Structure 1
Amino acid sequence: MPLMTGKTAALALAVAATASVLTTVSPAGATSALSWGACEGTGHDARQECATLDVPLNYGDPDGKRITLAVSRIRSERPDARRGTLLMIPGGPGEPGLNRPSTVGKRLPQSVRDAYDLVGFDPRGMGRSTSASCDLAAGDRSLVTTRPWPAADGAIKENVATARRIADTCARNVGDLLPTLSTVNEARDIDSIRRALGERKLSAWGRSYGTYAGSVYAQLYPERTDRWVLDSNDDPDPTRVGRGWLANFAVGAEDTFPAFAKWASDPGSPVRLADSPAGVRRRVLDLAARLDAEPLPWDGANPPVMNGNVFRQSVLTAMYSQSQFEGLARLVKDAEDGKVPGAVPPDLPQDTGAVSFATLCNDVEWPTSIPGHARDVAASRASHPLTAGMPVNITPCSFWPYKPQDKPVRITDRGPSNVLLVQNRRDPATPYSGALNSRRAYGDRARMVTVDSTGHGAAYVPAPYGSPCADRAVTDYLVRGERPVRDMSCPAPEVSEER
């Protein structure tokens, strides 16, 4: 989830969508009701087409107000090989998805791109769909604000004020779209897209929060799912949705940091921080404490300092990919020398902030006790010092003005056996424990591929950190329908995690 993700820069890239008149009959015989035309903007494959689709603001009032969804596709260029549509479900909540057929689709092997039309969309509230904005002040759009890092002494008074202010600002500025931003409505929107495409069933690849949105769809519309791949899985237990995902960052950081510590203590590493993993951990925690006491000025950044929490957030962000380990090690050395990075972190886009907060707050009710949050923060700071209490701190959801419009969806084993879960053993955002809960919930509906690797994202990860074993398992299923007979494990990538 982007208010919980380190990839805010990518979130700023929303691809424009326009419509021109072009009705298409797919090679499989499905007639699309969408009018496809050229996509505006840059950064997408020239073959990508865009369209818009009107859907109900409130599905309980289908004849009432409408909103617009922006949809994109890259069609299979092999009619003889095409077998359907692969929907690319974005993460978040609060990530744009319109450009995913271009940006993420290029990672897919040719056999998958031949077998499917790749379809993306901006979820309601995002990008070129009917967009939401809380009109948050700049200070409320930094990652160390949207993630509720407590004060250096563990106090949460400022977090309480910020959470209340953001909830009030969103309620005041977004309008009637705000209470409809939910995972259940995203699933309904996906089914509207399916119908507009003229497809009887969809295949899908969802990642991160997209695994939960995909799971909710598969539970509500099981007969409309074909081959369903969910990568880096959120815990779907209704008691864990939202707040439990945020709390998982404490576990995820502790799961993944040892891989960095091992890398940064290896004699062959380009930036060695200590002669043992324990030494690396001590050095990182000591630097965080030092920056709590003596922040470094950082012109142009939001906030304009490198303090302990900005540094802790940088550590957590780097755990998303082993490719960021070297940059983190250099950051440690530079900060110890009083230097800050030349590039400043981007602020959270307005639509990302609105959709992130609203979806998390609208899906389930959150606890409201301020003393309870303070106790949780104190306990987490002691047990999980890398994240210093942030994952259990108070959020705008404790002051949210709306109750959930729908009951949380419980994922069960009722439905076709057509789900493939893919998961790294060490993931900072969606820990392995949550994926195991998802696997148990699905029962015989699912099989699971576990990768002995570190990072967020297990399949089709760019070289050299990807798993050919996981890639083969996903490709075999999407293209030939050959899903593993039983749960399976994949070894660590051949390029070791120390390099």
Structure 2
Amino acid sequence: MKRQGTLARSLAVAAVLGLGGSTYAVHAAADGRDDARVDWGACPKEVVAEAAPTVLRCATVPVPVDYADPDGERIDLTVSRLASTDPGKRRGTLMLNPGGPGGSGLAQPALLASRGIPADVLDSYDLIGMDTRGVGHSGKVGCGFALDGPYTANIPPYAVDDAAVTARAKVAKQAAEQCARHDEKGLLPHLTTANTARDLDRIRAALGEERTSYLGYSYGTALGAAYASMFPERSDRVVLDSNLGDTHLTRDGLRRYAQGVEEAFPDFAAWAAARHGSYGLGRTAGEVRRTYVALAARLDEEPVGGFDGGLLRQYVFGQLFQETQYPKLAQQLQDLRAGEPEGAAADGAAGAAGPEVDNPLAVFAAVTCNDVKWPRDVDTYRKAVAEDRARHPLFGAAAANITPCAYWPYAPAEPPVAVDDDGPRNILVVQNLRDVSTPHDGGKLMRQKFAHRSRLLSVDDTGHGAYVLGDNSCALNTTSRYLVDGTMPKRDTLCRAD
């Protein structure tokens, strides 16, 4: 029975985060001069395995831990490259970020290649993946989090009442204190979006590029917006897909996750209703929703196989990220209704068992809490939970719940990066209409802030990630056309469903 709960936590962690002994070295000027030279070598063995059969090359780039002390302690950032397939057509570099913060991006060039990123994009760019500061092979940090501990996901659990918010506050406080105790090297306070954007510019310089293009998903949109704002003339063509709506994740941004669930769940409900004979969840989308709401409430009172109502809501949130996960979600709901969830656990355990949660959760907490100050009063969160439980009943009492940021031991070292609209018109904002963690409003907010510099490409689709990760041909072709030949839509555009 315990494995069932562990599986759900694994999937929740993996969904929220998006999207060895080998030799690899770099010779790059410490000040990031444009005459720096990168020597590419073999990637870490786990990256080789994840990228296979695509072969990537890796290197490291040294950056200051503290940019206020540029000659002080340094960390090495590991970057990967999938070189242009046609040097004669090569335009430059396309830096990638899969989201998080806390997700490893070293294998991302291979992932995009395997998912069918067009050949003319691969001709035009060296795809550059990376572990950003604090992640994996780039000064890895941790707080000692584990799947069987009290803090297992960067989205708080659903709070059924005020007492649940108070109980969660204790866990959040312990998590923040735990991070402080584990920060023996003093790196956590320097994990910020602003510093990561500065790192991108050091990598650009080390690669010998005057400018760089960028493709970021989810939190990667915040990082890309920060880079384009801090270094506007060094940004080439920028694509921001599945937008948070700013250069950092705010409390309001986290609360929008609940809106995203409300907007994305009907697609699953309609899919399940069309397969009522297989799953028995309801003959209409409305019936499927009522079935789910009733099941979650029942599990609040009487958990089944390690699933309580809060864990089920986290699981559903994670499974709504991609339409390909609908069958597993429907089967899980069917099994839980019958009180026999073992089948779904067996189906999913091999792919989800035992992920490392400490590093991604630690990075997510550090970057999110360091970027901007969060409220410290528990009553603020109790009020928000009550409001959002009524406004967004499927997930509002989770997304509004208290996080370690309320107790974070480090004050922000600088204000969050302000969006700078004074720069080239080079930002394409791409956004699905129904996205569980970054709803369409995030894309509209980013478009408003980059009023002069951007266009919004809305996509009539569901899921987290439109370009390459989705199945809409208009989104694929419009975005690729911009990356390859610079053709920006003349106005904000809607890609209709295929």
Q: What is the TM-score when the length of structure 2 is the normalising length?
A: 0.89
Write out per-residue CA displacement over residues 147-184 of structure 1, whole angstroms, 9 at most, x where no aligned residue. Answer: 22145445212211100000001011123101000000
Where does residue 95 of structure 1 map in the other structure? 103
Write out per-residue CA displacement over residues 324-351 of structure 1, whole angstroms, 9 at most, x where no aligned residue. Answer: 1222111111101112222455555211
Partners of 1:491 and 1:13 lie apart in 2 by: 24
Determine helix, strand or coil for the equivalent of 1:72.
Answer: strand
Partners of 1:100 and 1:237 lie apart in 2 by: 22
Contact 1:421 1:449 in 2 (8 A): yes
Partners of 1:456 and 1:383 lie apart in 2 by: 22
The one of 47, 50, 74 equivalent to 1:43 is: 50
Where does residue 216 of structure 1 map in the other structure? 226
The code of the aligned residue for 1:204 comes to Y
Where does residue 264 of structure 2 map in the other structure? 256
Q: Report deviation, 1:5.
A: 10
Determine helix, strand or coil for the equivalent of 2:221.
Answer: helix
The code of the aligned residue for 1:110 comes to A
Partners of 1:7 and 1:389 lie apart in 2 by: 16
Contact 1:37 1:50 in 2 (8 A): yes
Are 2:480 and 1:470 equivalent residues in the alignment?
no
Determine helix, strand or coil for the equivalent of 2:425.
Answer: coil
Where does residue 300 of structure 1 map in the other structure? none
The code of the aligned residue for 1:227 comes to R
Alignment coverage as a number of residue pairs = 471
Are 2:227 and 1:228 equivalent residues in the alignment?
no
**Percent identity over the alignment?**
41
| Distance change (3 Å), C-alpha of 1:330 and 1:383 | same
The one of 487, 492, 498 equivalent to 1:482 is: 487
| Distance change (3 Å), C-alpha of 1:214 and 1:257 | same
| Distance change (3 Å), C-alpha of 1:17 and 1:487 | farther
Q: Report deviation, 1:269.
A: 7.5
Where does residue 165 of structure 1 map in the other structure? 174
Partners of 1:50 and 1:11 lie apart in 2 by: 26
Contact 2:150 2:171 in 1 (8 A): no
Partners of 1:14 and 1:251 lie apart in 2 by: 20
| Distance change (3 Å), C-alpha of 1:93 and 1:6 | farther
Q: Report deviation, 1:120.
A: 0.8
The code of the aligned residue for 1:310 comes to L
Write out per-residue CA displacement over residues 49-89 of structure 1, whole angstroms, 9 at most, x where no aligned residue. Answer: 01111110001101111111001101112111111001012
| Distance change (3 Å), C-alpha of 1:349 and 1:14 | farther
The code of the aligned residue for 1:117 comes to D
Are 2:405 and 1:401 equivalent residues in the alignment?
no
Contact 1:14 1:99 in 2 (8 A): no
Determine helix, strand or coil for the equivalent of 2:87.
Answer: coil
Question: Which blocks of at least 5 consecutive residues in structure 1 are unaligned?
Answer: 24-29, 298-304, 494-499
Where does residue 367 of structure 1 map in the other structure? 375
Determine helix, strand or coil for the equivalent of 2:259.
Answer: helix
Q: Report deviation, 1:272.
A: 4.8
| Distance change (3 Å), C-alpha of 1:162 and 1:22 | closer
Are 2:123 and 1:114 equivalent residues in the alignment?
yes
Q: How does 1:130-149 map to 2 (within 5 A)?
A: 130-140=139-149, 143=152, 145-149=153-157
Partners of 1:142 and 1:277 lie apart in 2 by: 33
Determine helix, strand or coil for the equivalent of 1:385.
Answer: coil
Contact 1:11 1:349 in 2 (8 A): no
Q: Report deviation, 1:18.
A: 3.5
Are 2:203 and 1:193 equivalent residues in the alignment?
yes
Determine helix, strand or coil for the equivalent of 2:451.
Answer: helix
Where does residue 178 of structure 1 map in the other structure? 188
| Distance change (3 Å), C-alpha of 1:197 and 1:10 | farther
The code of the aligned residue for 1:336 comes to R
Larger fraction in helix: 2
| Distance change (3 Å), C-alpha of 1:315 and 1:15 | farther
Determine helix, strand or coil for the equivalent of 1:87.
Answer: strand
Where does residue 301 of structure 1 map in the other structure? none
Contact 1:150 1:159 in 2 (8 A): no
Determine helix, strand or coil for the equivalent of 1:120.
Answer: strand
Q: How does 1:298-309 map to 2 (within 5 A)?
A: 305-309=306-310
Partners of 1:480 and 1:395 lie apart in 2 by: 43
Contact 1:237 1:437 in 2 (8 A): no
Where does residue 439 of structure 1 map in the other structure? 447
Partners of 2:362 and 2:22 lie apart in 1 by: 20
Determine helix, strand or coil for the equivalent of 1:306.
Answer: coil
Where does residue 324 of structure 2 map in the other structure? 323
Q: Report deviation, 1:136.
A: 2.5
Q: Report deviation, 1:16.
A: 7.3
Where does residue 31 of structure 2 map in the other structure? none
Partners of 1:159 and 1:480 lie apart in 2 by: 50
Write out per-residue CA displacement over residues 2-31 of structure 1, whole angstroms, 9 at most, x where no aligned residue. Answer: xx99564489999876415799xxxxxx86
Where does residue 61 of structure 1 map in the other structure? 69
Where does residue 128 of structure 1 map in the other structure? 137
Q: Report deviation, 1:90.
A: 2.6
Q: Report deviation, 1:270.
A: 4.8
| Distance change (3 Å), C-alpha of 1:443 and 1:5 | farther
Determine helix, strand or coil for the equivalent of 1:43.
Answer: helix
Partners of 2:245 and 2:18 lie apart in 1 by: 28
| Distance change (3 Å), C-alpha of 1:405 and 1:17 | farther
Deviates more, 1:112-121 or 1:383-392: 383-392
Partners of 1:141 and 1:106 lie apart in 2 by: 36
Deviates more, 1:435-444 or 1:369-378: 369-378
Partners of 2:39 and 2:457 lie apart in 1 by: 38
Where does residue 37 of structure 2 map in the other structure? 33
Q: Report deviation, 1:280.
A: 0.8
Partners of 1:83 and 1:269 lie apart in 2 by: 52
Partners of 2:277 and 2:369 lie apart in 1 by: 43
The code of the aligned residue for 1:225 comes to S
Contact 1:140 1:162 in 2 (8 A): no
Partners of 1:278 and 1:217 lie apart in 2 by: 43
Where does residue 492 of structure 1 map in the other structure? 497
Contact 1:17 1:50 in 2 (8 A): no
The code of the aligned residue for 2:483 comes to L
Q: Report deviation, 1:275.
A: 1.6
Determine helix, strand or coil for the equivalent of 2:450.
Answer: helix
| Distance change (3 Å), C-alpha of 1:373 and 1:216 | same
The code of the aligned residue for 1:217 comes to Y
